[in-house]
Amino acid sequence: MAQYDVQEISKGVHWVGVRDWDRRMFDELIPLPQGTTYNAYLVRGEKTALIDTVNPGFENELLAKITMVMNPAEIDYIVMNHAEPDHAGSIPFMLEQCPRAKLITTKKGARMAELYFGATADRTIVVKDGDVIDLGGRILRFAEAPWLHWPETMFTFLEGERVLFSCDFFGAHTAKGLWDDENEELYSHAQSYFGEIMMPFRKFGRRGVEKARELDPLIIAPSHGPMHRHPENILGLYHRWTSGETRNKAIIAYVSMWSATRALVRTMSERLAAEGVEVVQYDLPCSDIGEIAKDLVDARAIILGSPAFLGGMHPQAVYAATLVKALRPPAKFAAVLSSFGWGGGAVKQAGEILGPTGMEIVGTVEMGGPPTEAEHSAVAQLAKDLAARMSE
């Protein structure tokens, strides 16, 4: 058996999580260039609580790590901050290994634990906002945190040591570094992660940040990626991201089969840059959705480029527009660029998908075949208009 690392991260608190270096996809959507972690923690007083578990497939590693600290059969509580299987999937196994342990979760969490993991009422303790559990000299306080990331989610706070176990909130998908200062790209990973996972719930995120600030943690211990021993950094970033503050930044996401649309995109990105706008350009078929999600967190404008394709947009552009609609980025302005062969249809479909987002479509350029000088000029004018709206 492998020889594992467990760490005491605060007095009587052990990290017993799993580093999944080899995982390459999350939610079958997001590439994970540095893998991820499933963080679980043991909090030991006279009684012991296990905070969250790990992704299915790592049950034995979790058990081995707990065994390095204590006899798992003596665990009294298993706290389920979130019912998603990456954290809760090992609960059935752990309930078997810890015959006297009770599962602690919110009311909605209890229903989901029954649905997903067959957790019965006699093994479950339901807690609500502000409830505490005394581990014998150490108090765990529960704070409901709905929609961060599912409706049942909560935070757990260890008083005294002031460790905030925030589950998905404040997380990052990377296996590198146990602490925030051990991964120089952490905040970039955290921003991608925020874009993919938390951005659709920005309003709840705002409340989550306030709640976290009120608790005044010394350590924020999320369930993915490094722990924060400089919590003010991630709190400051989350404050910005959840408030929907944008930069003078435009993201151009496009696809082009024969380079006609690409030619328009070139003029758009050059002319936006000339107007002093930060530009990021993504050729959709070979772009990382995580990178796009990161830029959506604080971009002020989104430009979609697509040729006409069977009466609508190219499927890659449909995918991108659908993702933008679902992730609800704070961008206020949009534009659409397209080339067609005969009947067009891409701009119309872009409007249909983006319409309900409330973004203002500042302009569109739709042309037959490759661009003429007049069409390049129309794009240059659109870049100017966009830049003006963005700096209002």
Ligand X SMILES: Cc1cc2nc3c(=O)[nH]c(=O)nc-3n(C[C@H](O)[C@H](O)[C@H](O)COP(=O)(O)O)c2cc1C
The footprint of ligand X (CB under 6 A) covers: 256-262, 307-311, 339-345, 369
Identify whether the C-beta of residue 350 lies closer than 8 Å to the C-beta of residue 306.
yes
Least distance from Fe ion to the Cβ atom of residue 167, Å: 7
Q: Residue 384 and residue 222: Cα distance in Å, rounded?
A: 43
Identify whether the C-beta of residue 54 lies closer than 8 Å to the C-beta of residue 90.
yes
Least distance from Fe ion to the Cβ atom of residue 390, Å: 33
Binding to Fe ion in span 153-212, by CB under 5 A: 168
DSSP per position, 356-376: GGT-EEEEEEEEESS--HHHH
- Identity of the residue, 99 or 369, whose beta carbon is nearer to ligand X in the bound complex: 369
> Which of ligand X, Fe ion, none does residue 310 bind to, with CB < 5 to 8 Å depending on kind?
ligand X
Strand residue runs (E) in 135-286: 139-144, 154-158, 163-167, 219-222, 249-254, 278-283
- Identity of the residue, 150 or 187, whose beta carbon is nearer to Fe ion in the bound complex: 150
Q: Is 52 in the site for Fe ion (CB under 5 A)?
A: no
**Quick one: which segment of 16-24, 80-88, 124-132, 292-300 binds Fe ion (CB under 5 A)?**
80-88
> Which of ligand X, Fe ion, none does residue 243 bind to, with CB < 5 to 8 Å depending on kind?
none
Least distance from ligand X to the Cβ atom of residue 59, Å: 47
- The phi, psi pair for 277, rounded to 5°, reads -90, 140
> For the chain, what is the largest distance between any 2 Cα atoms, rounded to a whole number of angstroms?
77
Q: Is 149 in the site for Fe ion (CB under 5 A)?
A: yes
> Which of ligand X, Fe ion, none does residue 307 bind to, with CB < 5 to 8 Å depending on kind?
ligand X
CA-based R_g, the chain, Å: 24
Return the number of other C-beta atoms located less than 10 Å from residue 307's C-beta: 23
Q: Residue 61 and residue 65: Cα distance in Å, rounded?
A: 6
Least distance from ligand X to the Cβ atom of residue 305, Å: 8
> Which of ligand X, Fe ion, none does residue 196 bind to, with CB < 5 to 8 Å depending on kind?
none
Least distance from ligand X to the Cβ atom of residue 164, Å: 49
> Which of Fe ion, ligand X, none does residue 257 bind to, with CB < 5 to 8 Å depending on kind?
ligand X
Whole-Å CA distances, 175 to 34, 85, 209, 231, 367: 6, 18, 24, 19, 46
Give the total residue count for the chain.
392
> Which of Fe ion, ligand X, none does residue 261 bind to, with CB < 5 to 8 Å depending on kind?
ligand X
- Identity of the residue, 65 or 314, whose beta carbon is nearer to ligand X in the bound complex: 314
- Identity of the residue, 36 or 338, whose beta carbon is nearer to ligand X in the bound complex: 338
Binding site for Fe ion (CB under 5 A): 84, 86, 149, 168
